[in-house]
Amino acid sequence: MVLLYERVCGHVLEQLRRGALRPGDRVPSEMELAAQFGVSRITSKRALEVLREAGLVERIRGKGTFVVRRLPDLTDLSVPLRPGTRRDARSIALIVPDMSEAYGLDLLNAIEERCAEYGAHLVVRRTHGRQSDEEKAVDSLVSTADGLIVFPVHGDFYNASLLRQVLDGYPVVLVDRHLSGIPVAAVLTDNVAAARALTTRLLDQGHEHIAFVSPPPVNTSSIEDRLEGFRTAFSERGHPYELTDLRSTLPGSTTTDSVRADMDVLRAFRDSRPEVTAYFACEYNLARMVDRALGGDRVVACFDSPGDSIGGPPFLHVRQNQTEMGRRAVDLLLAQLRDEPVQNLSYVPFELVDPERT
């Protein structure tokens, strides 16, 4: 597999070998190389940086890039260029809020295994759910990685650094979530269909009054889509309720005080809506909180439920295919690096799991 910037490096190296470029000559600029090869300026910039690290060119601020006065022996040089301690050219960075057995660990394992199959080096950076840390991670990794796989943090605003890289054509694949209206590849569950299927199962079980429980959904596509799927299941029957302002299960927000506050909110909601017999929590840790707050006397359903494997109760749930999600994310990223077209939204299959029937 030849990466995009390696094509540019190979062209310049061949020009040097043929004498078309000689010591002291000016090398085409980032913009000129990007236009010539039909790549982004991020790609052409990386190519020039690799050539510089290989000792073939020098970059002079305000003037441009030039062939060095004393070229090294070109006989044994080949692409990819790997001078000294330079990192593996096929380097992929994974940026995630956090990982746990409840959700994310299988995704990480699948990404790591797929990278190993392709001989790609994987760098993992955790953001702990903080958008500021996510922005710093993006800014620091784009200069050292060939592409990014990003599990976006929950937030009211999109990450400006990530948006900039997407719009500049830097190879990016999102997992679990997508950015509405932004043309970026994303691998995820069809959360609308999955949430509708789970809600329909509760309705079929005889629950007419069902509450959807989540953190604020704004600009977090997975929650927005699950809420939409929940709502659409009530087209002809049942009564929906929504409680979408809980925050204690968000990465970096779990404290004794925040948990206690959310538990109080849940109990107050139960007392004011005694007719609600089932609760649909948007994820497993929140489902456990709902179950504890309500004393186990309501039916709880959710997305992803490892249950006994982590010492918690199993719930009726949507099981997401994290393994397929991780593998496909790597495949799509490497396809971008080969300059192949990829679709924006790639859905992986899901299934409903009822622990009482297994």
Query: For residue 142, what are the CA distances in angstroms to 6, 64, 149, 308?
Result: 16, 21, 11, 40
pLDDT of residue 87: 38
pLDDT of residue 85: 35
Cβ contact 315:277 at 8 Å = no
pLDDT of residue 88: 39
For residues 157-162, give the mean pLDDT.
82
Cα–Cα nearest to 165, from 146, 188, 193: 146
Please state, in angstroms and rounded to a whole number, the distance separating the CA atoms of residues 136 and 76: 38
- Read off the pLDDT of residues 323-338 as tens digits, 9 standing for 90 and up: 999 999 999 999 888 7
- Read off the pLDDT of residues 39-98 as tens digits, 9 standing for 90 and up: 887 788 888 888 988 889 998 877 889 999 888 888 878 877 754 333 334 789 999 998
Asked whether residue 308 carries a pLDDT value surpassing 60, the answer given is no
Cβ contact 155:220 at 8 Å = yes
In the chain, what percentage of residues exceed pLDDT 70?
94
pLDDT of residue 358: 55
The DSSP-derived string for 245-267 is ---TTSTT---HHHHHHHHHHHH
Element (H, E) at 174: strand 172-175
pLDDT of residue 19: 92
pLDDT-based confidence at residue 306 (cuts at 50, 70, 90): confident
The DSSP-derived string for 300-344 is EEEE---GGGGTS---EEEEE-HHHHHHHHHHHHHHHHTT----S
pTM > 0.85: yes or no:
no
Across the strands, what pairs with 57?
Answer: 67
pLDDT-based confidence at residue 288 (cuts at 50, 70, 90): very high
pLDDT of residue 257: 93
Asked whether residue 239 carries a pLDDT value surpassing 80, the answer given is yes
Asked whether residue 215 carries a pLDDT value surpassing 50, the answer given is yes
Cα atoms in the 13 Å half-sphere on the side-chain side of 181? 3
Cβ contact 179:222 at 8 Å = no
Please state, in angstroms and rounded to a whole number, the distance separating the CA atoms of residues 309 and 167: 41
- Read off the pLDDT of residues 89-144 as tens digits, 9 standing for 90 and up: 478 999 999 888 888 999 999 999 999 998 889 999 999 989 899 999 999 998 78
For residues 338-349, give the mean pLDDT.
89
